[in-house]
A = this chain, B = another copy of it.
Amino acid sequence: MLKLEFKVTPWDVEGMVDYDKLIEQFGTSPLTDELLERTARLTKSELPIYFRRRFFFSHRDYDKILEDYESGRGFFLYTGRGPSGPMHIGHIIPFYATKWLQEKFGVNLYIQITDDEKFLFKNLTLDETKRWAYENILDIIAVGFDPDKTFIFQDSEFTKIYEMALPIAKKINYSMAKAVFGFNEQSKIGMIFYPAIQAAPTFFERKRCLIPAAIDQDPYWRLQRDFAESLGYYKTAALHSKFVPPLTGLEGKMSASKPETAVYLTDDPEEAGKKIWRFALTGGQPTLKEQREKGGNPEKCVVFKWLEIFFEEDDKKLMERYHACKAGELTCGECKRYLIKKVQEFLKEHQKKRKEAEKKVEKFKYTGELAREQWERAIPEKLR
Q: Interface of A with B (CB < 8 Å)?
A: 116, 119-120, 126, 155-157, 159-163, 165-167, 169-175, 177-178, 183-190, 192-193, 195-196, 362, 365-367, 375, 378-380, 382-383
Contacts and interface: CB of A to CB of B under 8 A. Distances in A.
Please state the number of chain copies in the assembly.
2
A173 B157 contact: no
A210 B157 CA distance: 28
Contacts of A171: 188
Contact of A189 (B155, B161, B195): B195
A120 B174 contact: no
Nearest to A178: B185
A172 B375 CA distance: 31
Contacts of A161: 159, 162
B167 A126 contact: yes
A189 B193 contact: yes
Q: Which 9 pairs between the two chains have the least Cβ-Cβ distance?
A: A169-B190, A193-B193, A162-B162, A159-B159, A175-B185, A366-B382, A159-B162, A156-B163, A172-B189
Contacts of A375: 383
A25 B40 CA distance: 71
A156 B177 CA distance: 23
11 contacts: A120-B169, A165-B190, A169-B188, A174-B174, A174-B183, A174-B185, A174-B187, A177-B189, A192-B192, A366-B382, A366-B383
Contacts of A155: 162
A380 B157 contact: yes
A378 B48 CA distance: 41
Contacts of A185: 173-175, 178
Contact of A186 (B160, B166, B175): B175
Contacts of A175: 185-186
A193 B159 CA distance: 15
A44 B380 CA distance: 40
A219 to B, nearest CB: 15
Given A159-B161, A174-B183, A174-B185, 16 more contacts: A119-B170, A120-B169, A156-B166, A159-B159, A159-B378, A169-B190, A169-B193, A170-B188, A172-B189, A173-B187, A174-B186, A175-B185, A178-B185, A189-B193, A189-B196, A365-B382
Given A173-B189, A189-B173, A166 B196 contact: no
Given A159-B159, A383-B366, A190 B166 contact: yes
Nearest to A171: B188
B188 A172 contact: yes
Nearest to A372: B383
Given A362-B382, A382-B366, A126 B188 contact: no
A119 B162 CA distance: 13
Contacts of A383: 366, 375, 379
Contacts of A190: 165-166, 169-170, 193, 196
Given A380-B157, A383-B366, A186 B173 contact: yes
A173 B160 contact: no
A178 B366 CA distance: 39
A305 B85 CA distance: 62
